[in-house]
Amino acid sequence: MNLARRSLLLTIGASLIAGAREKSLAALELETAPLELEIYSLRKELSKDIPGTLAFVRQLGFQDVEVPDFNGLRSKQFLEQLDKAGLRCSAMVAQHDRLSQDLQGVISDARILNASYVISPSIPHKNDFTEDDCRRGAAEMKRWGKVLKQASLDFCHHPHGYEFRAGPGGTLLDLLAAETDPAVVHFQADVFWIAWPGQDPVKVLERYPNRFLLMHLKDIRKGTKLGDQAARRRQKPALHWEAECSISCHSARCETHRHRALLHRR
């Protein structure tokens, strides 16, 4: 997909969300939760042209971005590219291996980028995600979160659907929340990955009003079958720019959404 096409999609998505905010969300004072771009949306373009792609992001009107990786650069070099484009990094993604083996390096990179959040996008597991996988992940997150908090960084885990399998007292996400310290382990909501396994994003956010500091906004194309956990191994559902899930999600009165990231997945 070329940049012209991507520009149209991202602009439409941002406009839909902005319009919904004006109509129904003003009372929630969501100006405290700025809209930014998860530049994973443009990973193919970044692999070919970092400065040009970041300049394009700024031209769309975004000022803040979530950084999934450095595209072969060091953190300081990537920061220089962000600075040239007039962009700021609010959050940085760190993979499990790096968090486990080089947590101090993660902290160093986050500080160089001036990020406030470190996001873990996965919990390693084989085949179906189990209670043992969840408990092991919770123990790791407690360790990482404590160290990151001491470095003035907030740790957030980004659920990717499998955490909503049935678990003790509800879902495995409920177990993950119960087994971690809310002072040091937070979450990044993703309306796509909450809705696909058949959960209601509003209810999840209302159940944990103080755990979700960040949010990804995207939606699933109408007609996609929801609630089939096995489907995530068979297919990747297409997206459609409708703001339905994003809008209804924000109707949940959660007090701690600090940043919203618009993501176009493909």
3-262 classified as CATH 3.30.420.40 = no
Q: What is the CA angle 212-218-224, rounded to 5?
A: 115
Q: pLDDT tens string for the chain (266 positions)?
A: 455 545 545 554 544 444 444 443 333 334 445 688 999 989 999 999 999 999 999 999 899 999 999 999 999 999 999 999 999 999 999 999 999 999 999 999 999 999 999 999 999 999 999 999 999 999 999 999 999 999 999 999 999 999 999 999 899 999 999 999 999 999 999 988 998 899 999 899 999 999 999 998 876 777 777 886 655 544 444 443 333 333 344 444 444 455 565 555 44
* Domain map (residue ranges) of the chain: 3-262
The tokens 């929340």 sit on which residue? Answer: 177
Residue 228's pLDDT is what?
67
What pLDDT score was predicted for residue 259? Answer: 58
Confidence at residue 181, expressed as pLDDT on a 0 to 100 scale: 97
